[in-house]
A and B are shown apart, each in its own frame.
Chain A
Amino acid sequence: KQEVTQIPAALSVPEGENLVLNCSFTDSAIYNLQWFRQDPGKGLTSLLLIQSSQREQTSGRLNASLDKSSGRSTLYIAASQPGDSATYLCAVRPVSGTYKYIFGTGTRLKVLA
């Protein structure tokens, strides 16, 4: 059964710092992996989607990498800003004949001004 883990559960960093959020999954048979951002009381906003054949995706200050063989993905945030404060979730879509994503429990990020 696919399980997705995100460590740490919470992280505080000073403004301007580069940071890495981690996501690990137990079964490498995935179609893709998606990173989301969630602000308090809001829905999830998609940040980056990496297909299984890709190694990384970039959008602005965000870069996500995928290493299927080791079951890991990282989300790199460059030059963090207070506006980056949110919960970041990763989700994988298994190659299991269904259309369901499996979510991690998220990393709550606080960027201090």
Chain B
Amino acid sequence: DGGITQSPKYLFRKEGQNVTLSCEQNLNHDAMYWYRQDPGQGLRLIYYSQIVNDFQKGDIAEGYSVSREKKESFPLTVTSAQKNPTAFYLCATLGTVNYGYTFGSGTRLTVV
């Protein structure tokens, strides 16, 4: 059935390493989003894409990069420039009928 798949569920990053978080959807939604969630804080928007081959920075884009080569896929790379990457990362899509968000199950990234 339709949904959003985020992988991996848990990810460990060493200092100075780039890591990529996967987000795949089969909902046929155009718009996709990456959020970061820290304890005690709300969701903060990292990047979003309204259409293939186009994306915009959110509120906390520094140290992150994305690509949108296919409608179904919106991978997020956490680069070594991101100084505090330990967080819970959530991918979402925006529906085209009622314009509500659908979220994936998240990836927990930890720096070791």
Bound form: Cα–Cα A99–B43 in Å: 15
Bound form: Cα–Cα A81–B108 in Å: 28
Q: Which residues of B contact A4 (CB under 8 A)?
A: 42
**Which range holds the interface residue count of chain B?**
20 to 34
Which of B33, B42, B100 has a CB less than 8 Å from the CB of A104? B42
Which of A36, A44, A49, A103 has a CB less than 8 Å from the CB of B98? A49
Q: Which residues of B contact A34 (CB under 8 A)?
A: 100-101
Which of B42, B88, B102 has a CB less than 8 Å from the CB of A103? B42
Bound form: Cα–Cα A107–B31 in Å: 27
Q: Which chain B residue lies CB-closest to A31?
A: B99
Contact B100 A32 (CB under 8 A): yes
Bound form: Cα–Cα A43–B25 in Å: 15
Bound form: Cα–Cα A45–B4 in Å: 12
Contact B105 A43 (CB under 8 A): yes
Name B residues whose Cβ lies closer than 8 Å to a Cβ of A: 6, 31, 33, 40-43, 45, 48, 50, 58, 88, 90, 92, 94, 98-106, 108
Name A residues whose Cβ lies closer than 8 Å to a Cβ of B: 4, 31-32, 34, 36, 41-46, 49, 51, 89, 91, 93, 99-101, 103-106
